[in-house]
Structure 1
Amino acid sequence: MRIAVTGKHGQLARSLQERAATDAGLSLVCLGRPELDLSQPGSIVQALIACDADLVINAAAYTDVDKAESEADAAFAVNAAGAGAVAGAAADLGLPVIQISTDYVFDGKASVPYPETAVTNPVSVYGASKLAGEAAVAAANRKHLIIRTAWVYSPFGKNFVKTMLRLAGERDTVRVVDDQCGNPTSALDLADGVLAAARTVLQPGFTDWGIYNITGSGTTSWAGFAAHVFAESGRASGASATIEPIPGSSFDTAAKRPSNSRLDCTKAEKIFGYRAPDWRQSCSIIVKRLLAES
């Protein structure tokens, strides 16, 4: 199986590379600027042709949620038009596409985890741009999967776990939002789920195209997430801190966040046979790895 992956410097692409390194039957080609630039659609087809892939994973995205509020054109250029261009280029080559999306397509007002069929209503430019990307992908390529995920962290790039470990080393008390809940998701676990999906769609006769949710198992608040990070860090002789729980309204951010980001992953488990580990287990592994690498 040969897969082309956009967004080569992102958390998911780097996690996919790590997983692929231990799978002799998997060849991964990660693409990014300058050879492939989602804001320059003309670069996409030629880059994919050069890959000679069986499937395309679009993991590239404009991900600065707050900055997107003042850079809507840039966010939509990458997350909507760019995603559609990747899906269209894949379709031109007869390839299926897996588009990575987000819990931010919802407003967070539901009291239960969101299934794939739930009504969308993004409350931020970032969420709106990702939802537009979902529509563009579906319109451009019949053979598509849209995989929504949430609260992604990893040993790579910038993410919540890394931020909490840094803050624990700088101060005794850290203020963390306690009225927003979700599914913390290791990008390495997400990579396993995406690869399980890729293997499934490449089987003869696959027809279950559409939207899927893949996140870590179990839910918590941002404060609960941070508490686990600090506890694991302390147990490993790393920095720890006391948490001051605060409401999301106390944070002056440009973009609004969903108060409920929980996603129901039952469909992915049924169709792809993949269920991510409990988020606490995966978080502990990442914390210990980051401390060992620091």
Structure 2
Amino acid sequence: MSAVQHRAQVPLDEAGRRLDQALAAMFPQYSRSRLSSWVREGAVTVDGAVVAPKQRLQGGEWVQIDARLEDEVPLAPQAIALDIRHEDDDLLVLNKPAGLVVHPGAGNADGTLQNALLHHYARLAELPRAGIVHRLDKDTSGLMVVAKTLPAHTALVAMLSRHDVQRQYAAVVRGALVAGGTVDAPLGRHPVDRLRQAVRNEDTGKRAVTHYRLRERYRAHSLIQCNLETGRTHQIRVHMAHVQHPLVGDPLYGGHLHLPKGASEHLVETLRGFRRQALHAERLAFVHPIREVEMAFEADAPEDMQNLIAALREDAAQA
């Protein structure tokens, strides 16, 4: 059991939301049930006062958490290979492969990144979610930062909340774009399908902004760069589908398979065989939370995505 202390200001874009909902967004390293129990126990105050979980916020209030942390679920360390790009006493940066689940959950009790991290560094068991402060979807590859100490953990969570961590992605989308753009559309849980996110109105969704830039245009697809101004669940996937350019291979938002007219057998085989969203977190930049030095990391897209891009380039060159 360890002490948990956080103090943070409620972002203005959380105005009108319930305290328990805002806490889940502000402190994603803790489960909703744990946060709600702390509120009910009086371990959470808003501007110095104990309030109910359903209390509506105006934005700008100061939230204080003073609680005790017990392990929610005992997790076993597992010897799963990690591609670590940097490690020091306070944090590590790794390149997550596609197919690796970040947190244990329904249908994924083990074999996750969290299990792998506990095997790599046993003291991560003392931190919430083994030091994981943000996540990537199971089938999204790329760079993640993980805290190794409580001070680093607290600082990184605050930096992510302030959008002080720069995250850049590469994606292959359907459609031949002529230029980049910005998608500014609130996101929230889909009203019917609980596995999906959806563009919602300002009352039911949270502000979400994605900037995208065209890198390469093919006959019926494009390679783009995406930079997040916010970091909502499935943000790039939902936003690009919203502007009618869904990610290739996306099982939730991608729609039907699109084959360019006259596509070569190689391209048809490649597109049909690409069964995950074509999304890779290629760059991560931030100021070290303890040493206060600027850090930046880059990771090339994995082989399957590089093969997809190569097949699209070959098809475009032969057109």
TM range (shorter): under 0.3
Using the size of structure 1 for normalisation, the TM-score is 0.23
Structure number with the higher helix fraction is 1
Structure number with the higher strand fraction is 2
Using the size of structure 2 for normalisation, the TM-score is 0.21
Larger of the two Rg values belongs to structure: 2
